[in-house]
Amino acid sequence: MSFKNVAIFSKPRQPDVANVALNLMTWFQGKGIQPHLNPHPSIVSQADLAVVVGGDGTLLAAARSLGDRQIPMLAINHGGLGFLTEVTLEEMTPALEQVLEGRFVTDHRMMMEVAVERDGRRIAEYRALNDAVINKGTLARIIELEARVNGQYLSSFRSDGLIVSTPTGSTAYNLSAGGPIVFPSMSAMVVTPICSHTLTNRPIVLPGDMKIELTLKSDQGEVHLSVDGQVGLPLDRGDRVLAERSKVVVQLIAPSGKNYFDVLRGKLKWG
């Protein structure tokens, strides 16, 4: 596979990250490849490779910037925990050499389409690689959410909130809330209550082709929907949050030899 244009996503306000991105531009130019740093969407449409320098948040924003046209994306970890950005700075140049030589593996990750309906009208639409979280404000009391799956009643959750996670997002907020780790190439969604008032409410893993509907039943103060921890809006009583598998799939690439279990052991200190 030949790459001619690369989109580089970074954090321009962090000097150390910005310097790595600038060095990358010079490196790609030396290879006869045209780099574009934090490009405008019209430029992104011309790229055939994306390189992300930063943490998982930078990668989530980059995936959203790519929109419907998801191109192979290599993530360089220059952030914190970094479950998604699995290539270290020390490995960056050798990893890029392997990618340009075609020696890489592609990991396809499902995304979710998330919509909000109010009074029978759709008021917002988002796309998530990690999760959609309904959470109460700091001063709000416990909130009540009614959950339905494919139109069938699942349960009413009285809790601090609820997480609907993709397999990729299963190692994010879902993991902190006691949800399961789901292998990232699976097609599944996880519904996990946050600090449930009912101890028998437990996370549930659902097939990826199911549609989840969450209705806010309480009016106990500020309640907010957050998508991938980056976009969202306040919710009112009666609002419906709908989540289903997206037709768009993220293509994360890594040098041959990298695998998910290496990442888990490293990040979670297993073994």
Q: What residue has token string 């009540």? A: 144
Question: What would the two tokens of residue 88 be?
Answer: 């270290």
Note whether 74 and 49 are within 8 A (CB): yes
Of the candidates 25, 54, 49, 23, the one whose C-alpha atom is nearest the C-alpha of residue 102 is 49
Q: Where are the beta strands (DSSP E) in the chain?
A: 5-9, 34-37, 49-54, 73-77, 104-118, 121-128, 131-136, 143-149, 152-159, 161-165, 188-194, 204-207, 212-216, 223-227, 231-235, 240-255
Burial of 74: CB neighbours in 10 Å, binned 0-12, 13-18, 19+: buried
Q: Which residue has the tokens 């490849």?
A: 33
Helix axes of 15-30 and 92-100: crossing angle, nearest 10 degrees: 30
Please confirm, yes or no, whether 56 is among the known catalytic residues: yes
Of 56, 107, 131, 228, the active-site residue reads 56
Nearest to 84 by CA among 271, 260, 269, 268: 260
CB atoms inside a 10 Å sphere around CB 129: 26
User: Looking at beta carbons, which pairs linking 175-183 to residues 24 or more positions away fall under 8 Å?
Assistant: 177/203, 178/203, 179/203, 180/205, 181/264, 183/260
Q: Which residues are catalytic?
A: 56
